[in-house]
Amino acid sequence: MADWRCFPGRLCSNRNRAKAKTDRQTEQRIEQEIVVDAYGAEGRAMGWYYYLEERLRFPFPGKCTAQRAISPLRRGQEVAVVGLAPAEECEHEMFVMIGWEDRTLAVPLAQLEAIQPDNTTAQAVADWHYWVKQGYQF
């Protein structure tokens, strides 16, 4: 069973998960810009959603960095990232829309790296990847 630590208005994390090295600047941006007024899982999810909605510049090319059971993408596969998934799909994890065959499909943002993004998009994607690598949860 996971050992979760959650504090009201703060970040939640799994103490048993190996964390990436702490980055003070990223931690400060997350706490002061993204989840600043969040007092629960829904608030943290919406904070992230609005942050990404404001900062991701679509479309941009992306590359799959890890296979996931919930996604058809394979490691190394390149896709066109065309938008943020609807908010109701992002209640537990952030998803982006990609062009897939003759439709669009939502895949986890954590599964993708942006290829040659603008600075704003690069920062937003890096912030989400940092959140995930730290084991933080909504």
Is 40 strand, coil or helix? coil
What average pLDDT does range 90-101 have in this prediction?
Answer: 96
135 with 93: CB under 8 angstroms? no
Asked if residue 5 has pLDDT above 90, the reply is: no
**More reliable by pLDDT, 91 or 19:** 91
pLDDT at 13 over 90: no
Share of the chain above pLDDT 70, in %: 86
CA torsion sign for 102, 69, 80, 57 is: positive
pTM metric for this prediction: 0.85
- Of 24, 34, 22, 19, nearest to 9 by C-alpha is 34
Radius of gyration of the chain (CA): 15
DSSP class of 66? S
Structure tokens at 42: 């829904």
pLDDT tens figures, 49-66: 999 999 999 999 999 999
pLDDT digits (tens, 9 = 90+) for 110-127: 999 999 999 999 999 999
CATH fit for domain 22-137, picks 3.40.640.10, 3.40.50.300, 2.30.30.530, 3.10.20.740:
2.30.30.530
In the predicted structure, residue 2 carries a pLDDT above the cut 50: no
H runs (alpha helix) in the chain: 24-29, 41-55, 119-133
pLDDT at 82 over 90: yes
In the chain, where the domains are located: 22-137
Q: Which two tokens stand for residue 106?
A: 């939502």
| 4-23 mean pLDDT | 56
